[in-house]
Amino acid sequence: MALDIKICGLKTDQAMAAALAGGASHVGFIFFAKSPRYVEPAEAGRLREAARGRALAVAVTVDATDAFLDGIVERMQPDMLQLHGSETPERVAELKARYGLPVMKALPLGEASDLDRMEPFIGIADRFLFDAKPPKGSELPGGNGVAFDWRILAGLDGGVDYMLSGGLNAANIGDALRLANPPGIDISSGVESAPGVKDPALIEQFFRAVRAARDDRAA
């Protein structure tokens, strides 16, 4: 089975080059002002050019207004929107219609019953991104480097298309793949040397770890 890999929170040409060289299927840009990964829409538009035809460019927003999203869509030309706030199913449907773009809805998970949150979005969101709940005191809804218990995904219906995210890194990706067998994975702080600073060597190391884990499972 193919595995989608999203490297999120890109801000530099070097990080983008490492993500593409490793074989990322998705590259993410953060449009949340409080994030150390925030990037201006026009700069994201410049960076995303390298990904055209190679990886899908994802605009990550949090309860964004139409006006803010209009600017992002115009300047960055994303292939996909990731909604990482408390957007309702109605809002997801509205934005899909407004921009004609697929939407990945992020949902925070802590325990198996949190998967019930997915139900109202089925048939509306194109994909889910399952992330850990932010730790107390964090101002960020995502990008906290915190993992949840991946075993709660193991019983999911095979028809649910999602990315597993939250606290992934080169050391734990093998366990995550083994326990949840996800169709996609997403990583941000696990390939950073400091908050918001992507490290091309860590990106390369992460892809190596993913390949090694998949080779082990195929053997």
Ligand X SMILES: O=C(O)c1ccccc1NCC(=O)[C@H](O)[C@H](O)COP(=O)(O)O
Question: Quick check: 153 binds ligand X (CB under 6 A)?
Answer: no
- Nearby residues of 97 by Cβ (< 8 Å), 6 or more positions away: none
Q: How far is CA 190 from CA 51, 207, 212, in A?
A: 21, 12, 17
Q: Does 186 bind ligand X (CB under 6 A)?
A: yes
Q: Find the part of the chain contacting ligand X (CB under 6 A) among 31-39, 89-97, 118-126, 199-207.
A: 31-39
Residue 8 vs 203, nearer CB to ligand X = 8
- The answer to whether residue 187 forms part of the interface with ligand X (CB under 6 A) is yes
Give backbone dihedrals phi and psi of 170, rounded to 5 degrees, phi first: -65, -30
CB atoms within 10 A of CB 117: 14
From the list 87-95, 117-125, 149-157, 187-195, the region that binds ligand X by CB under 6 A is 187-195
Binding of ligand X at residue 167 (CB under 6 A)?
Answer: yes
Judged by CB, which is closer to ligand X: 27, or 73? 27
Site membership for ligand X, residue 27 (CB under 6 A):
no
Phi first, then psi: what are they for 118, rounded to 5°?
-70, -35
Q: With binding defined as CB under 6 A, does residue 190 bind ligand X?
A: yes
Output the six-digit token pair for 19: 């993500």
Is 35 among the residues that bind ligand X (CB under 6 A)? yes
Residue ranges with strand state E in the chain:
4-7, 26-30, 56-61, 80-83, 103-109, 127-132, 162-165, 184-187, 192-194, 197-198
**Binding residue for ligand X, selected from 4, 81, 103, 144, defined by CB under 6 A:** 144
Which residues in this chain contact ligand X in the complex, by CB under 6 A? 8-9, 28, 30, 32, 35, 37, 60, 62, 84, 131, 140-145, 165-168, 186-190
